[in-house]
Amino acid sequence: MLVVTKRENVQGNAACALGAIAAGCRFFAGYPITPSSEIAEGMARDLPKVDGFFVQMEDEIASMAATIGASLGGVKSMTATSGPGFSLKQENLGYAAMTETPCVIANVMRGGPSTGMPTRPGQGDIMQARWGTHGDHPIIVLTPASVSEIYSETIRAFNLSEALRVPVVVLYDEIIGHLLETIDLTPPDESSLVERKWASGAPEDFEPFKADDDMVPPMARPGDGYRVHTTGLTHDERGFPTQVPVKAEKAVYRLLDKLEHHNDLIESFEAVMCDDADVIITAFGITARAAQRAVKNLRAQGIKAGLFRPITLWPFPVEAFKKTTENAKAVIVAEMNAGQLVLEVERICAGKPDVHRVNRIDGEVIGPDELEAAVKEVLS
């Protein structure tokens, strides 16, 4: 058993590896890429201590494939990457969504597009995390904003993935990944860790994609005698390919509806000083930390500002956002890209309240001063 002291000074990426192991992850397949490589280094060092397995694959495509294979073999599994590698993982990520294979993918964002700025932060993978693979597919994306949250949200990522049989992305920027903060590393109570639902009953009656009332089908544990047919093609409850319209529609809608059915379990957000706010800044990751400082500074000047921070980025916490912003005069979406999350916010607000943008794509963070100036301009 890997033992850690209760409080340690830990880097964000190291916290991701420690959180994964604490959640029960016992397989990691990956390929080195800045600025996420410390996750792989941590897993290579610590997984053998808990009888786990680390494999450095030949590329990012194979890394995702191996992660899926290990999960289908019954093991909690993950991989980690950054933007260019995340692009390469998309086809296999779609396969995991269609086959309902639990897995966790950490994406530590850097400046882009293409090779971009490997050592500089960015937040340009927001829409890719939601729609990177083709077709309508289920996915959960969590966005921690501190080293402590990387640890806890990685654990939650595994719990959600195992409970709902869905890929979960832990998405954060280079700054958060390389922060050093003192955090509580007390291992979670075993009772709080979720294990996937295993098949039971007569093997001859088993249908691998027939869901229970919770819309999540039990999985067959390898060696238990249950027959499984697994394919990325649209399939029926037996797992066999089908293009019969009514069956295909039923299969895909169940994948999407199971997330909505469990929204209370998935959704997470933070609202800071929003009750009476005239302007609410919406941000995540390092930008949210700058926004929190800006809100504090503005309040000291008598300006009513607040912060809405989605912790679960996808599915976006729509109803919570509507309720939080219903009395505000304006919303400012701050993000280190040319404008991605703002598209979702504009869709939700539909013109009320007004939506404004603060963006940077130069590899520098959005500072509190920029956000203070933006709030004052909106209110002027």
> Tell me: the pLDDT tens digits for 219-241?
999 999 999 999 999 999 999 99
Position 279 scores a pLDDT of: 98
Tokens for 372?
A: 């203070």
Domain boundaries defined on the chain: 7-187, 270-379
Do 7-187 and 270-379 come out as alike in CATH topology?
A: yes
| C-beta of residue 130 within 8 angstroms of C-beta of residue 141 | yes
Q: What are phi and psi of 103, to 5 degrees?
A: -165, 160
Position 2 scores a pLDDT of: 58
Position 194 scores a pLDDT of: 97
The low-confidence residues of the chain, meaning pLDDT below 70, are 1-5
The closest of 77, 134, 75, 131 to 106, measured between CA atoms, is 77
The burial of 333, by beta-carbon neighbours within 10 Å (0-12 exposed, 13-18 middle, 19 or more buried), is given as buried
Cβ density class 214-244: b for 16+ within 10 Å, e for less: ebbbbbbeeeeebebebeeebbbbebeebee
The closest of 95, 42, 87 to 68, measured between CA atoms, is 95
Position 7 scores a pLDDT of: 87
- Which ranges of 23-119 would DSSP assign to H, the alpha helix? 37-46, 60-72, 83-88, 90-99
CATH number 3.20.20.10 given to 270-379: no
Tell me the C-alpha distance between 69 and 288, whole Å.
36
Tell me the C-alpha distance between 245 and 290, whole Å.
49
Q: Where are the beta strands (DSSP E) in 174-282?
A: 180-184, 269-272, 279-282
Position 75 scores a pLDDT of: 97
Position 5 scores a pLDDT of: 59
pLDDT, tens digit, for every residue of 163-191? 999 999 999 999 999 999 999 998 899 99
Tell me the C-alpha distance between 228 and 210, whole Å.
12
For the domain made up of 7-187, the CATH class stated in words is alpha beta
